[in-house]
A and B are shown apart, each in its own frame.
Chain A
Amino acid sequence: MRRFFGNLTPSAWIGFVILVAIVAVAVFGPLLAPHPLDEPIGVPLTRPTEGAPFGTDFLGRDVLSRTLWGGRSVLGLAGIATVLAYAGGMAVGLAAGYSRSLLDPLLMRVSDVMLSFPALLFLLVLVTGAGSSKTVLVIGVALVQMPLVARIVRAATLEQSVRGFVEAAVARGERATAVVRREIVPNILGSVTADIGLRFTYSIILVASVNFLGLGLQPPDADWALIISENRAGLTLNPYVILVPAALIAMFTISVNVVGDAVARNLGISTARRRLVR
């Protein structure tokens, strides 16, 4: 752990604290919500009052309560998608990079195709075919990211597999699984996970964007992106209904990126060489 968090700058620490705080809001928020998710408490789009510190939304529901409910989907779906992308990407990337068999050109071609296509467009095509649901969203985002992760893992694996200690292990007849597990994985973990912050940020952006377009979660579910989308027209009457969820998403993605950046620096991975966030 010290390798990752050994020497963080003050700004990274602030980012880390914000990150933990927002995760706490998302996870425990529903327990603290003063009002039910889908029940009008007053006139639509009123500005903050005593009972509703952030006012009401376009159906007269409590913005605070809906915001407290609406973090789980953003963070949860993006988190699951990122984990799936890494699990799949590690497996495919290791297999392709180490065996250099048929799988390798196949992976490269598939990821070429994925990269020749905007990620959001891929998700929209998927929604058109399979309908809007959380499952489609999570699988879609994971599928978009998987080839990217697999490519990074593959490149790192290739780099390691020609090193002397790996060749020595092969020459003494160690099984492929043992070579990968003992000699390769421990040495690529740093450079592979250095990107996890970027990948997670990108997952959040994708999940939130699809939800914002109204093609992910459906009303009356609460979700920070969906709240912004639903209330766009009421922005002038009660700006808080946009401002609060927008600020939460913004602070979260920024802090993930700042912490990820600092961790990557700690691992000695030059930020210059890292892929774009998108």
Chain B
Amino acid sequence: MSSTSDLATPGLHLLRERREHPVLLFVARRLAAAIATLLIVSILVFVGTEVLPGDAAGAVLGRNATPAQVEEMRALMGLDRPAPERYLDWLGGVLTGDLGNSAAGFAAGGVSPIWEEISGKIANSFALAGITAALMIPLSLLLGIVAAVRAGRALDHAISISSLAIISLPEFIIGSLLILVFFSWLDLLPPVSLIAPDTNPLTQPDVLVLPVLTLLGASLAASIRMVRAGMVEALNAEYVTMARLNGFRERMVVTRYALRNALAPSVQVLAQNIQYLVGGIVVTEYLFNYPGLGKELVDAVAIRDVREVQSVALLIAAFYVGLNIAADLLVVLLVPRLRTQR
């Protein structure tokens, strides 16, 4: 990071003085970088949706609208003002907690704040992603480490080959096949996740099973492979050989010497995979008609509800970036070389 941007962030030069806090300095730098990244993302999202050709007002009203009606709608949606003004308006709103009004609301003739439409759905999506992550993290650590310790043996081959196969499948394929098996053939689980508004999805575990399995399939395969790779690398390290030459018990060699050093790369991998879940959730929710943020987003794109797409996209990006910082911070705390000064 260049020093000019350091100075631009208030307080950073103070941190520089206090060299003994490398972790704080790291967090400050990452936060500054994250804010810059999100600003660029917001510009990209805005340009991508509003500056490219395409008329949102016309799309809302449909083909039969008269030019006058379209003009009226443009004014109502604020589309008649210059783009930079609209951008600042939107960004200012997002920063103060006002995500704007949805085009679906305009089409229905009223004003419908986006936040009210999506807040319940965010909770639903978090439930889905949270359960998946809660299963994925321990499972991938366990299976990845077991495969690495047994590298080259039958169990490792079984884990490696099946994860290589599953890793290449899009969610909608995994999901469709799961529906085929568990609904069409076995008739055990519903193919569609119907959840009434304002109810907690956790009270209906049967509608969660298939979406969670779908998301788990894709992300688990990827993370097992990467955890295994990190662990194999650690097991091949010189200091592991040295621990064996010192006559340490194999359990100690694997946990205290190999695993301890394989954890940091695994954290990064797991964070990447949770991030990937965010993308996978869109497809999975659409497939199962699960009333979450992803489904909402696809519907908004289909009717070209520009403001809602913008706001939801920015929210997801913020979550993504936040997760990244959390993972990096965890890595810094796990690796002594990063958290201490020389």
Contact = CB atoms under 8 A, between A and B. Distances in A.
A/B touching: CB–CB < 8 A: yes
Interface of A: 11, 109, 112-113, 116-121, 124-131, 201, 204-205, 208-209, 212-215, 225, 228-229, 232, 235-236, 239, 242-243, 246, 249-250, 253-254, 256-258, 261, 271-273, 276-278
Given A116-B324, A215-B302, A249-B173, A235 B168 contact: no
A125 to B, nearest CB: 5
Contacts of A116: 37-38, 41, 317, 320-321, 324
A113 B41 contact: yes
B176 A128 contact: no
Nearest to A273: B229
B304 A120 contact: no
User: Interface residues of B: mostly helix, strand, loop or mixed?
Assistant: helix
B226 to A, nearest CB: 6
Given A249-B170, A257-B168, A120 B49 contact: no
A215 B301 CA distance: 8
A169 to B, nearest CB: 31
Given A121-B279, A236-B184, A208 B170 contact: yes
B173 A120 contact: no
Nearest to B223: A276
B48 A232 contact: no
A112 B37 contact: yes
A259 B216 CA distance: 24
Nearest to A276: B222
A113 B38 CA distance: 8
Nearest to B34: A116
B232 interface: yes
Contact of A272 (B53, B229, B304, B310): B229
12 contacts: A113-B37, A113-B40, A124-B282, A128-B49, A128-B309, A129-B51, A129-B54, A130-B54, A228-B176, A236-B183, A246-B177, A276-B273
Contacts of B287: 212, 232
A208 B172 contact: yes
A246 B302 contact: no
Given A125-B48, A242-B176, A214 B302 contact: yes
A111 B9 CA distance: 23
B317 A117 contact: yes
B306 A128 contact: yes
Q: Can you list the 3 inter-chain pairs with the closest CB atoms, starting with the nearest?
A: A272-B229, A118-B279, A129-B52
Contacts of A109: 40
